[in-house]
Amino acid sequence: MNEPPVEWRFDDYTPTPRILPPRRASWRRARSALAIVAIVGLAALSAYLWSVNGTWVRQNETLRESASSLGAQLAQASADALAAQSELDDATARIRSLVNDEAQAGDKALVLTDVGAKLVECADARAQHIRYLNSASRYTAASLTANEAAVNEFCTSVIAAYVDAVAST
């Protein structure tokens, strides 16, 4: 395959092309090398993906175990919170009951104090009426009778209030 060299002439601008032999063997080698590189690359990619898959599976199992543990902890904390809320509600109800009882006791004591003060006024009014009777000559019989009726009416209403106050306690 030795060909003669291309001759150049001055009047010709382009050289006569030389016919080259086909390079099939070099293309076959390049394709083979490319195929080997592709196979090695695919094998490396497969190995990497297999490794990543294994890592992902282990990580997924770890996360599932953590999630399960956290779910159990959350359920326990929720149950504890419900129990604490129930205890808090019971304590709050008891405190409200005690406050109401104390307020009612205070109200009853105030009512009894007021009724006691009115009983003292009743006793004072009777004592005053007795003084009027002791010096009856200074007053008319009608005024003494009217005073006695007013004192009796006042004392009767105070005694009724006392009976009601004692009965409500």
Let me know if residue 106 belongs to a domain.
yes
Number of independent structural domains in the chain: 1
Per-residue pLDDT, 90:
93
Give me the pLDDT at residue 92, please.
93
Residue 12 lies in a domain: no
- Going by C-alpha positions, the residue among 4, 6, 22 that lies closest to residue 14 is 6
Helix extents (H) in 12-23: none
pTM: 0.45
Residue 4 lies in a domain: no
In a domain, 69, yes or no: yes
Residues 6+ apart with CB under 8 A from 68: none
The answer to whether the beta carbons of residues 148 and 94 sit under 8 Å apart is no
On whether residue 6 sits in a domain, the answer given is no
Q: What is the pLDDT of residue 103?
A: 83
The range of the structural domain enclosing residue 118 comes to 24-168
Supply the pLDDT for residue 137.
Answer: 87
Is 17 inside a domain boundary? no
pLDDT for position 69: 93
Asked, for residue 13, whether it belongs to a domain, the answer is: no
Which pLDDT score, from 0 to 100, does residue 15 have?
A: 57
Mean pLDDT of successive 10-residue segments in the chain (169 residues)? 56 59 69 91 93 93 93 93 93 91 83 88 91 88 91 92 83
